[in-house]
Structure 1
C-alpha cells in the first residue's frame, strides 16, 4: 500500500518530528491520525476535497503504520479502527482517502495547539501526553470479536523461496527473496513491457526457477490470453515445471466445473450464487437487472433440484432454455452467453481432480471471443477466491511467509479496462495476499496499472518495468515507486530496451533480465 501525502502535511510532519526529536517518520502521522479519530470527526469521501499527493510518499506499509506486532505491517489494525469508526468495511482506496483526511485534520489540531503553546516551558510535551492519555482512556471500551476456525488446510511451501531476475550492469545477480517478510510485506508482482520486451520469457524463467526451487511443490496457473502457446514448442518448459498444457479449443475444454465456487451451505449459497451471476454479468454484454434476476432464480432452482451436488453448465443452459420457452422470452445476450459456455469449454465431470493440485498452462486462442476468454479466466479466479477465502491466513514462521499457489495473468490491461473486472481483481489482490497466493500481472504499459478508481501498483511490492512505449518519468515513477534520486531513475529509464528491466528496490537499478530461452539453452533443458 502506498500513501502519498500533501506537501502542506509533509511540512507539518517534519516540523513536529523535529520538535519532538522523533527518529521514525511514521510516529507523527500515527499520532495525528489517532487524534483526529479521538475527536469524533467523520468525513464523507464523496463530498470532501481529498488532500493532494504532492508531498512525501510512504511506499511501505511498515513505514507509516509500524510493526509493533511481529514482523508484519500493522495496517490491518488501523484499517479495523477506521472500519469501526465508520461502521462499515472500507476498501483500500477509500481507506487511503480517509487516512489522508484524518491525517490532515489531526496535524492541524496538533499544530494549532503548538502555535499557542510556550515551547520553552514544555507545553508541547503536555499536549502530547494529553493525546496519549485520551487514547489510553479508550481501553475501557474493548470490542471483542469471535473468530471461528477454518476447516480447509491447503498445502504450504514454508521455506525461503528465492529466484533471480538477472544481473545488474556491474554483473551482480539480483536475487528476490519473495516470501522473506524482512524484504517483502506482500508478494504480488507486476510487469510492464510492450511486445518484444521479454516479459513472457522473464515470467517463464521465474516460473521455472520457482518450480525448481520448490521441487514442484508450489503449483501455478498461467493464463495465456493471446493463445499463442504451442505444446511442442512449450514442451521443455512444461516438462521442466511439470505443467499440464490445456488449449481450451483444441483439447476440448478444461476439466473444471465453475459451479464449485458456489458454497453449498444453505446460508452461504445465496451469496455465492450472486457472486457467480455478477461474474457472468461482468463479461457478457448488456446483461441488466432483470436478466441477472432470471439467472439467479434459474441457478437457485437448479441447485435445489440437485440435493447437495453441483449442476453442470449444460444443465444450466437446459434450464435457462426451458425458462425462456415457458415465459415466451426471445433469446438475448444472456441466453447466448450461457449457450457459448456449453461449447466444450468446461468438462464438468464430478470425478475431476482439483485444479489446484497441478500446475496448468491455459491457452485461450483467438478462436474464442474476447467475452468467452475473459469469462473463462474470471470463473476460475472466482473459484480461487472462494477456495482460499475458506482457508486460514498463512502463519509466518519466523520471517518466512508460507506460500500456497501462484497465478499469472497475462495481458492484464484487457481486464483493467473493465470497471467490474478491476473491482474483482482488486478484491483478489487484497484477499489472497494473506492466503499465501502470489499474483503476477503482465501488461503492455506502466499506465495500465493506474486507473481512475484504483492504483494497482499500490498492491504490488515487486513492480518491474521493461521496455515500454510510454517512457514518461511520472508514469514510471508512480509504477516502480518514488526513487531516492530522480536523476538516477531518469538515467536508467533512458537505458530501457528489449531484454532489460528496471526495478526500484533501495535505488533504481537496470537489469539484464533472465530469459527462458537463454536458460533453456544454457542448462540444456
Structure 2
C-alpha cells in the first residue's frame, strides 16, 4: 500500500475543516475535498509544480480511500477515477502526485465557501448538500448499460474453501478457511523457503486439496519458472489435481493468444495496447521508444485489418519482419523475441477452449532464455488481470467470499527484483483481490517480499515462513506480522528446519508442513 506525505497547508486545512464538521477522521474530509476538485473538472499538467512534503504522512494503515463492504481498500476505485479523468493509465507515482494536487485544490475550494458562509446558521451543511443532491440527480438519470456476460463470466465456488497446511507441535491440524471473511479479509498467500525447505511439496498439497475440496470446480495455473517438472514424476499430482501439464519447449508451446488482454473498445484500445507493449519492453533488453512505437503501430494496423477480431502473434511477426525488411532495419532482440513467441511459445488455435477452463501446470525449462520465460508469465498475468478486471466483484454471502481462480507464481523473487515487473505484480494483487482470485507467490527468502517502493507482505493475509537462510528477527516479523510476544517469535524461529514452517495466526507457531509426497503415499494416489 502507498505511503506519502502531503504539504503543511493541506494538513492544517484538513484539521480545520474536520473540526468544523466534527468528522471522525480527517480522511473523510480528504475524500470529500477530492470529489469537490474533480467535480469542477480541474486538471493539472505535467508542468504543475509538485507540492512540498512537509505535512501529514499517510501509511498503508491510514484508510485513506475508505473500504468496501467486504473490507477491500478503495485504492483501485480512486485510481480508476483518476485514469478516466486524465484519459491515461497513470503510474502510482503520477497518481499520488495528482492526488495531492487535487486534495489541496478541493480543500481551497471548500475553505473559500466556508469563509463566505455563516456556520452558526448551518450554512456549512448546505455547502455539502448541493453536490450531494447533484450527484443523486445524475445517478437517477444514468442509463443502464447491458454487458455481454458471455465474455466476462466465470464460475464461482461459493462454498467454504478450506485446506490443511500442517500440524502443530501438539499434532493438531492447522486448517485454513481461506474465504471465510471472519478469519481472512485477503486471500493472497506468500510462501518463503530456500531450496529443500518443502515449499514446492506444500503448494502441490494445497492445490490438490483445493481441487479435491471444490470438486474440481476451482481451476489453477502453476508457473514453474525453474522448469524442472517432469510429466512422469508429476503424473500422480496432475491426475489428483485434474491438471494438464504443458512444457513450453517440448510440447510446442501453450494454446493461448496473448492479444486477448487488449480491450477492443475504441476508447480503451490505446491504453490496452500501451500496457501490452509495456509488458514486452519490461523484459526485452535494450528495447527503446522507437521500437515500442513500431510495435504499437503494427498492432493498431493489425486490429484495424481484423475489424473486431484478434490477430495472432504469428501475424504480428510477419508484419514486423516485413517492416524491418522494407525499412532496412537489422534484426535485433525485439525481432528475435517476437519471432520466438510466434513459433515456439503461443499456439493460437481459435477452436481451443479458454485457458481458464482447466487447471494448468506450465513448465518453463531453462532451455528458454530468462527473457522468454519471464515474458510468457507476464503476458499471461496481463490477460488474467484484464479478464478478471472486466468481471463484477464477487459478492460475499454471509461470511463466505466466492473464489474463481488460483494463480501460483514460483520463484517470485525473479520478478520482485525487476522494478517494472514488481509494479505489475502489485497491480495484480490489488485489482484481483475483490475478483475472487487467489494469488500465491513462492520465493526463497522473506526479504524478497519487502522492497523500497512496496511491501508485498502487506497485500498477503497468509504468509508462511519455511526454513530460510536469513533468520533475522526483523525481516521475519515484517513478513509474518508483528507478534504479540517478541520472545515467542524468537523462540519459534530457532525451531525452523526442513519440512517445518512458521505462521503467526493468533500467536507464532511452528508447524509440521503438509507435503504432497506424504499425502500421495497416505492416500494411495
Q: TM-score range, shorter-chain basis? A: 0.7 to 0.9
**Pair 1:138 & 2:143 matched:** no
State how far apart, in whole Å, the 1-side matches of 2:96 and 2:480 are: 19
Distance change in 2, residues 1:442/1:329 (3 Å): same
Look up the SS of the partner of 1:343 in the other structure: helix
The counterpart of 1:31, out of the listed 10, 25, 28, is 25
Query: Which residue of structure 1 aligns with residue 73 of structure 2?
Result: 75
User: Superposed, which structure 2 residues align to 1:397-408 within 5 Å?
Assistant: 397-408=397-408
State how far apart, in whole Å, the 2-side matches of 1:190 and 1:388 are: 21
User: Superposed, which structure 2 residues align to 1:435-474 within 5 Å?
Assistant: 435-474=435-474
Shift, 1:36, TM fit: 6.5
Q: Relative to structure 2, which stretch is displaced further, 439-448 or 382-391?
A: 382-391
Given that 1:466 and 1:502 are in contact with CA atoms closer than 8 Å, whether structure 2 keeps it comes out as yes
Query: Which residue of structure 2 aligns with residue 316 of structure 1?
Result: 316
Query: Which residue of structure 2 aligns with residue 288 of structure 1?
Result: 288
1:95-137 per-position Cα deviation (integer Å, ceiling 9, x unaligned): 999999xxxxxxxxxxxxxxxxxxxxxxxxxxxx99x997896
1:13-60 per-position Cα deviation (integer Å, ceiling 9, x unaligned): xxxxxxxxxxxxxxx995243356779999x9984158789xx9959x
Given that 2:410 and 2:441 are in contact with CA atoms closer than 8 Å, whether structure 1 keeps it comes out as yes
Shift, 1:91, TM fit: 7.8
Query: Which residue of structure 1 aligns with residue 14 of structure 2?
Result: none
Given that 2:2 and 2:60 are in contact with CA atoms closer than 8 Å, whether structure 1 keeps it comes out as yes
User: Superposed, which structure 2 residues align to 1:442-521 within 5 Å?
Assistant: 442-521=442-521
State how far apart, in whole Å, the 2-side matches of 1:341 and 1:77 are: 35
**Pair 1:48 & 2:87 matched:** no
State how far apart, in whole Å, the 1-side matches of 2:354 and 2:79 are: 38
User: Superposed, which structure 2 residues align to 1:182-201 within 5 Å?
Assistant: 182-201=182-201
State how far apart, in whole Å, the 1-side matches of 2:80 and 2:260 are: 34
Look up the SS of the partner of 1:317 in the other structure: helix
Distance change in 2, residues 1:382/1:371 (3 Å): same
Query: Which residue of structure 2 aligns with residue 126 of structure 1?
Result: none
Shift, 1:390, TM fit: 1.2
Shift, 1:276, TM fit: 1.1
Look up the SS of the partner of 1:181 in the other structure: coil
User: Superposed, which structure 2 residues align to 1:126-165 within 5 Å?
Assistant: 138-142=128-132, 143=135, 148=145, 150=147, 151=149, 152-165=152-165
User: Superposed, which structure 2 residues align to 1:386-405 within 5 Å?
Assistant: 386-405=386-405
State how far apart, in whole Å, the 2-side matches of 1:36 and 1:309 are: 44
Given that 2:65 and 2:74 are in contact with CA atoms closer than 8 Å, whether structure 1 keeps it comes out as no
User: Superposed, which structure 2 residues align to 1:155-304 within 5 Å?
Assistant: 155-304=155-304
Distance change in 2, residues 1:321/1:4 (3 Å): closer
Q: Relative to structure 2, which stretch is displaced further, 365-374 or 147-156?
A: 147-156
1:353-401 per-position Cα deviation (integer Å, ceiling 9, x unaligned): 1000000000000000000000111111111111111111111111111
**Pair 1:523 & 2:517 matched:** no
Look up the SS of the partner of 1:220 in the other structure: strand
Distance change in 2, residues 1:148/1:135 (3 Å): farther
Shift, 1:308, TM fit: 2.4
Given that 2:207 and 2:241 are in contact with CA atoms closer than 8 Å, whether structure 1 keeps it comes out as yes
State how far apart, in whole Å, the 2-side matches of 1:31 and 1:135 are: 17
Q: Relative to structure 2, which stretch is displaced further, 314-323 or 330-339?
A: 330-339
Query: Which residue of structure 2 aligns with residue 109 of structure 1?
Result: none
Distance change in 2, residues 1:98/1:82 (3 Å): farther
Given that 2:65 and 2:78 are in contact with CA atoms closer than 8 Å, whether structure 1 keeps it comes out as no
State how far apart, in whole Å, the 1-side matches of 2:370 and 2:504 are: 34
State how far apart, in whole Å, the 2-side matches of 1:179 and 1:45 are: 42
Distance change in 2, residues 1:409/1:74 (3 Å): closer
State how far apart, in whole Å, the 2-side matches of 1:480 and 1:66 are: 25
Query: Which residue of structure 1 aligns with residue 423 of structure 2?
Result: 423
State how far apart, in whole Å, the 2-side matches of 1:402 and 1:210 are: 13
Given that 1:65 and 1:74 are in contact with CA atoms closer than 8 Å, whether structure 2 keeps it comes out as no
Name structure 2 gaps, 5 residues minimum.
Answer: 6-21, 38-48, 101-118
Shift, 1:425, TM fit: 0.7
State how far apart, in whole Å, the 2-side matches of 1:140 and 1:345 are: 57
State how far apart, in whole Å, the 2-side matches of 1:176 and 1:325 are: 57
State how far apart, in whole Å, the 1-side matches of 2:408 and 2:124 are: 48
Query: Which residue of structure 1 aligns with residue 329 of structure 2?
Result: 329
Distance change in 2, residues 1:77/1:149 (3 Å): farther
Shift, 1:275, TM fit: 1.3
Name structure 1 gaps, 5 residues minimum.
Answer: 6-27, 101-128
> How much is the aligned-residue C-alpha RMSD, in angstroms?
3.6
Q: Relative to structure 2, which stretch is displaced further, 343-352 or 280-289?
A: 343-352
Look up the SS of the partner of 1:180 in the other structure: coil
